[in-house]
Amino acid sequence: MTPTPLLFFAPLPWDAAARQRPHHLARLLARRGFAVFYVEPASDAEGYSPEPGLIVVGDGTALHRRRLARWLASVPLGDVMRRAFGAVSGDDPLNLSRDSAVVQAVDHRLGLTPPGIVLIELPHHAPMALRLQRQGWTLVYDRLDPSSASADIGPFSARYDEQLYARAEIVTVTTESLNRGRHGLKRPATVIPNGVDLARFQRRKQLAVIPRSLPAGRPIAGYVGTLGPWFDWERVIGLARSNPAWNIVLVGPGRIPKEVVAVQNLHLLGPRSYEALPEFVQHFRVGLIPFKGRDITGVDPVKAYEYLACGVPVLSVPFPALEGVPGVTLTAASWNGWLDELGHRRFPDDAVQTYLKQRDWGVLSDRLAAALAHPEPQPPLSVVIPTYNGRAHLERCLWSMARQTLKELEVIVVDDRSSDDTVSFCAQCYPQFRLLRSAENVGFARAANAGIRAARSPFIALLNNDTEMAPDWAENVLVPFQDPRIGSVASFLCQMQRPSRVDRAGDGYSAVGGAFNRLHNQVDPTDPPRFEEVFGASAAAAVYRRAALVEVGLLDESFEAYYEDVDLAWRLQLAGWPCVLHHGARGLHLGSASYQKGGERFVRFSARNAETVYWSALPPALLAKHLPGHVAFLVLQSVHRLVSGELGPYLRGKLEVLRSIPSLLQHRQERQALRTIPASEIERLIEKRWFRQLVRQLIDRHS
């Protein structure tokens, strides 16, 4: 049987002095039957086998730097920026990823190139990993803590990290705190913490010889590891000066501040091989972890487990990952007095050994191998239904969900502090559905976001509680997602009172600056196309790819009410996630049953949010081109509001935008930062016959 190829894009060379997480996992996965190709960073290695089942190959970036330098010298600056930002979205105009060379190495060793697994730890390899994913490879993102070697690799590292976290089929994290996207949206992830090579570090009883470089005559408090930007020199120097009866020993590479020279009991031994570390650690009386900085909360420090395996108590700054670990003392305060305390405290050997057995790299690699072979099952679709005093309409909606032909559907009802019997009805009649209860009335956007964050599926639907969906709706609405480029799917909704009339067929957006319900009030077409690209999906019945939401964010809660789904549609379009209308994904819609439209509040919020979306989302070229139409629309809409007696709240909404220019500029900066497609591609999807849209939007109060 041909072993499964596993491309392991690592943050460290195979022959690095320190043996870290990627080395242990790659070596042990090879022993578990995977054909592991350890891809070194900044290397042109053609392939060698340090041990059976494991091949070391280079990612080719040394060659690419030379190619990039020649290319930059030959093209205009504008083209450089365009292509650079294109590369962030997964394009690779220079072929910098050189994935063909890596796949050729797989072909050479296995005799074929079957899609296998690509496991990535270094975000700047994202273009290569995403390209291989499009070719059928399973993408696994082992998300490391900020202090790892993968941090701070360039200006686009955060964007790459977001894309990998969003799009990987399998995500593993060292701590649960790392399982969240930039917008707070979590996804199913397997926690595989850092560990220790017990067999190596528990050889301490056999190591009686003291290394010559270790200072003698005093007890030793020591540290092993890189002396990087996160190392708290001020804390360590203060510890040495306040404990003259102790030797403070630092083992590892890094820059040394000049203040260290004057501290006589502070000894820097420089880097040592991984194989030699137990010889030093076993002679420590206390093991130190003096880190600093805001990004260490997600750190799971390997050295803590290496100290413990050698029978050495640990003194560390606080890390959530180390809370409750036997033998570890956590304090952010001064360490003065702690060395004598820990040096004489009885080491809890039995409790430590029991704990470390679960932290052996062999056990952890088994957990990773199981995650690769049998990913945690997820529901095919999660349906989120926000509701506020909507009990009268919710019954039909939930009944339609209960009769869906798609099995294992996850339905989440989010009750927004209703005063009717919504909660008891759901609990008694539909106990198979999840019920989330808000402690206070928070509005549609926040209620919907709470449901989205709780969803477990890669695809998340938003449904109004006054909808009734066809039995095959869930099955049909997932079909367009077979194309991995699709970010959202709009449902085809007819009016509940007049089923022959269309309620909405996705959202449209006009050049004058307003959204509208496509095909609203038209006769249901008899022979429509199966799929149709549209601007956006109305939140009345929309389905989103979780990966897209992780990348662009959830509904913007600052909108309070109305236009949140239009803003989300814009962000998805700007980020290159198209929307498709599936005419076969059908349902009926009553319209605004829970979160009512109409009245002063609706007019004010709609006026404010429509303006916010227009000035935030349109690229500069489209703003300049269509500004006259927008001004005309505002004038005529003001006349319409005057006639209807709604001019006051309408103008108050527009003035709110003027009073919050800083907030508007921030909105615009965030949305334009998402853009990966040219303005011409966006213009293709908006309605440019603006006079027709003026009339339509003055009639359709959706605007």
For residue 581, the model assigns a pLDDT of 97
Pair type for strands 35-40 and 54-58: parallel
Residue 54 CA to its chain's centroid (Å): 30
477-523: per-residue pLDDT in tens? 999 999 989 999 999 999 999 999 999 999 999 988 889 999 999 99
pTM: 0.67
Which parts of 379-526 are beta strand (E)?
382-387, 410-415, 434-437, 459-463, 467-469, 488-495, 502-504, 507-509, 515-517
Give me the count of residues in the chain.
703
Return all residues near 672 (Cβ < 8 A) that are at least 6 apart. Answer: 574, 619
Residue 119 pLDDT grade (very low, low, confident, very high; cuts 50, 70, 90): very high
HEC assignment per residue over 571-603:
HHHHCCCCEEEEEEEEEEECCCCCCCCCHHHHH
- pLDDT at 96 (0 to 100): 40
Per-residue pLDDT of 14-36, as tens digits, reads 988 778 999 999 999 999 999 89
Q: Is 216 left (phi over 0), alpha (psi -120 to 50) or beta?
A: beta
pLDDT at 68: 45
For 635, the token pair is: 């004038």
Query: 128-132, 150-154, 421-425, 663-667: lowest mean pLDDT where?
Result: 150-154
Token duo for residue 218:
């005093």
Q: Compute CA distances 552 → 30, 97, 151, whole Å.
A: 37, 25, 22
Average pLDDT over residues 606-619: 94
Per-residue confidence (pLDDT) for residue 156, from 0 to 100: 53
Structural tokens at position 611 = 């303006």
> 24 burial class (0-12, 13-18, 19+ CB within 10 angstroms)?
buried
Report helix, strand or coil for 625: helix
How many whole angstroms separate alpha carbon 49 and alpha carbon 556? 51
Q: How far is 577 from 674, CA to CA, in rounded Å?
A: 11
Judged against a pLDDT cut of 60, whether residue 64 lies above it is answered with no
Residue 583 to residues 449, 476, 523, 531, 596, Cα–Cα distance (Å) = 26, 9, 14, 6, 27
What does the pLDDT look like over 677-696, one tens digit per residue? 998 888 888 887 655 655 65
User: b or e along 448-462 (b: 16 or more beta carbons within 10 Å of the residue's beta carbon)?
Assistant: bbbbbbbbbbbbbbb
Decide if pLDDT at 290 tops 50: yes
Tokens 């997932």 -> residue: 478
Judge whether residue 78 has pLDDT over 80: no
pLDDT digits (tens, 9 = 90+) for 545-568: 998 998 898 999 998 778 999 999
Measured between alpha carbons, how far is 703 from 697 in angstroms, rounded to an integer?
6
DSSP string for 125-142: GHHHHHHHHHTTPEEEEE
DSSP SS3 for 330:
strand
pLDDT at 103 over 60: no
pLDDT band at 181 (very low <50, low <70, confident <90, very high): low
Which run of H or of E encompasses 6? strand 5-9
* Domain parsing of the chain, residue ranges: 5-191, 198-359, 382-699
Instruction: Decide whether 5-191 matches 198-359 in CATH topology.
Output: yes
Q: Is the pLDDT reported for residue 108 higher than 70?
A: no
- What pLDDT is attached to residue 251? 96
If DSSP codes are grouped into helix, strand and coil, which group holds residue 399? helix
Is the pLDDT reported for residue 311 higher than 90? yes
Q: Is the pLDDT of residue 701 over 50?
A: no
CATH of segment(s) 198-359: 3.40.50.2000
Classify domain 5-191 at the CATH class level. alpha beta
Residue 247 has which token pair?
């030797």
Q: Which fold has domain 382-699?
A: Spore Coat Polysaccharide Biosynthesis Protein SpsA; Chain A (3.90.550)
